[in-house]
Structure 1
Amino acid sequence: MKLSKEEILAKCAQMSQNTLMETLNIEFIDVGADFLIAKMPVTSTVHQPDGVLHGGASVALAESVGSAASMMFLDAEKYYIRGIEISANHLKSKREGEVFAHATIIHKGRTTQLWEIKIKDEEDQLISLVKLTTIALPKV
Structure 2
Amino acid sequence: MRKKIQKLLNELNDLKKNTLINKMQIQFIFLSPKLDMLIAKMPINHNLFQPFGYLHGGAILILSESVGSSISFINIKNEKKDNFNIFSIEVSANHVRSIKEGILFAKAQIFHKGKTLHFIQVHVYDEKKNIISFCKLTNIIIIPKK
Give the residue type in structure 2 aligned to 1:28. F
Alpha-carbon distance, 1:20 to partner: 0.4
Give the residue type in structure 2 aligned to 1:65. V
How far apart, in 2, do the equivalents of 1:83 and 1:77 lie? 19
Q: Output the TM-score relative to the length of structure 1.
A: 0.95
- 1:92 is the counterpart of 2:97: yes
The answer for the alignment partner of 2:113 in structure 1 is: 108
**Of 38, 49, 59, the match for 1:36:** 38
Q: Output the TM-score relative to the length of structure 2.
A: 0.91
Aligned length: 139
How far apart, in 2, do the equivalents of 1:105 and 1:49 lie? 34
Q: Which runs of 5+ in 2 are unaligned?
A: none
- Higher strand share goes to which structure? 1
Runs of 4+ in 1 over 4 A off after TM superposition: none
Alpha-carbon distance, 1:139 to partner: 2.8
- SS of 1:48's equivalent? coil
**Of 52, 57, 62, the match for 1:60:** 62
Alpha-carbon distance, 1:77 to partner: 2.5
The answer for the alignment partner of 1:74 in structure 2 is: 76
Provide Cα deviations, 1:15-43, integer angstroms capped at 9, x if missing partner: 11100000100000000121000000011
**Of 111, 127, 132, the match for 1:127:** 132
Q: Which runs of 5+ in 1 are unaligned?
A: none
Q: CA RMSD, aligned part only?
A: 1.4
How far apart, in 2, do the equivalents of 1:4 and 1:16 lie? 19
How far apart, in 1, do the equivalents of 2:21 and 2:5 lie? 20
Alpha-carbon distance, 1:137 to partner: 0.5
